[in-house]
Amino acid sequence: MNPWINAKVLKIKKWTENLFSIFLKAPILNFQAGQFTKLALYENNQIKKIQRAYSFVNAPSNKNLEIYIIRILNGKLSNLLYNLKTGDNVLIKKNAFGFFVLKEIPNCETLWMFATGTAIGPYLSILQEGQDIERFKNIVLLHAVRYRNELVYLPLMKKLYQKYNGKLKIQTIVSREKDRNSLLGRIPFLLKNKIIENKIGLEINYKNSHVMLCGNPLMVKETYFLLNQERNMTKHLRKRKGHITMENYW
């Protein structure tokens, strides 16, 4: 059983017209950094629930739940959530879901974390929690967005960079406008031409790297195909170790 329970809205942080974070308080069970939950609200008739899956941004040790959401133009739930006020209630699942967690990742020298858009959330949860990090010599966090004003969690990423004292490297990517601190283009193009690796100063290969992919399904698919075909990297499975762990994220 995984029942729906009530969560109280602590605040809504509206970053842009389409990006927001919702902060909740709810008696959920303990979750692992990188996992996701489901939120739901009833439609006007109070009969049918609208539900969607969202990842936690907060570390499991932080009991104030934080979820980063993109507001879809005609999306029923995202617009309802965007317009919630402090003190309102939303339904949340008591137990979290998913295996996009560090304990599923094999030991390696360099762990690469690729995210597009709101899929930065699971990595921020993992890095804020900071458990099981010592297994990796290097961790590279890459966040790709369309426009630079969508890099809303960059201040937190910079704090994490300081926290890890050289172990963590961060790189932002913007695809639709130039930003002097970001690479320009899409992840598959930047990988194919080794632009990311040249900027970071580390190589992605099957001998010493593991790649986590989270975000737009097209990015995940294209990046996996490139790494598989050109770098001989394989999908990681519980029964067969590989080099790539994937999670699609809308």
175 and 146 Cβ atoms separated by less than 8 Å: yes
The counts of H helices and E strands in the chain are 6, 12
Q: With beta carbons less than 8 A apart as the criterion, state whether 35 and 100 touch.
A: yes
Q: Any idea which residue has 């737009």 for tokens?
A: 216
What is the CATH number assigned to the segment(s) 4-93?
2.40.30.10
Q: What is the pLDDT of residue 250?
A: 58
| Tens of pLDDT, residues 182-241 | 999 999 999 999 999 999 999 999 999 999 999 999 999 999 999 999 999 999 998 899
Please give the mean pLDDT across all residues of the chain: 96
pLDDT > 90? residue 101: yes
Going from N- to C-terminal start, the domains of the chain cover: 4-93, 102-248
Q: What is the pLDDT of residues 132-158, one digit of tens each?
A: 999 999 999 999 999 999 999 999 999
Mean pLDDT of 33-49: 89
Q: Detail the DSSP E strand segments found in the chain.
A: 4-14, 19-25, 36-42, 49-55, 65-70, 89-93, 110-116, 138-145, 168-174, 182-184, 209-215, 244-248
Q: Are strands 209-215 and 138-145 parallel, antiparallel or unpaired?
A: unpaired
Contact present, 204 and 191 (Cβ < 8 Å): yes
107 by DSSP, 3-state: which? coil
Q: CA-to-CA distance for 194 and 197, rounded, in angstroms?
A: 5
- CATH code: domain 102-248 is 3.40.50.80
In terms of pTM, does the model score above 0.85?
Answer: yes
Task: Identify whether the C-beta of residue 19 lies closer than 8 Å to the C-beta of residue 150.
Answer: yes
Cβ-based burial of 61 (10 A; exposed 0-12, middle 13-18, buried ≥19): exposed
User: Percentage of residues in the chain with pLDDT exceeding 90?
Assistant: 93
